[in-house]
Amino acid sequence: MIDTDLPLDTMFPNKFKRIERAPEKADSEDPVESSKEKEKAPEKAPEGDEEVSLGEDVTRHFPLAFEEGFKVFRRGSYFHVYEGDETTPMNDKGLRREKVKPFLRKYLED
C-alpha cells in the first residue's frame, strides 16, 4: 500500500487503485503501525480443552466478507474464512490473499 497525494491511478492506468482513508483515522497517525498494533492480539477459539489461535483478524481488508458477515483470519501467509462465530473454517486449505475474494463469491453463488 502506498500513501500519497499524487493521482497514481490516473497517472498509471490499471496499475493503482485509489483507496480512501477511513474518516476516524487522524492524519498524524501512521496507518501501518496502527493496524499492526490492533492485530497483535490474536483471537482464540475454544477447541476441546485447549485454545487454538485463529490468527490475525484481517476481515477489514475484505469488504465482501465484512458485508456478508464472514470473518477472515490470517495465519502466516494463508487466509481462512469463517462464517459468523464458527470456529471451523469454511475452506479446508489455507487460501492466498488473491484467492479469498473469488472463494467468497463462489460460496455466495451457491
Query: If you search the block for the grid coordinates 502466516, which residue do you land on?
Result: 76
pTM for this prediction = 0.52
Give the single-character DSSP code of 19: -
What dihedral do alpha carbons 76, 88, 69, 77 form, nearest 10°?
10
pLDDT tens profile 48-67: 444 457 889 999 999 999 99
Percent of the chain with pLDDT over 90: 38
pLDDT of residue 30: 55
What distance in Å separates the CA atoms of residue 32 and residue 96, rounded to the nearest whole number? 21
- The cell numbers describing 13, all together, are 492506468
Contact 101, 64 (CB under 8 A): yes
Give the single-character DSSP code of 105: H
Ordered by start, the domain boundaries in the chain are: 8-109
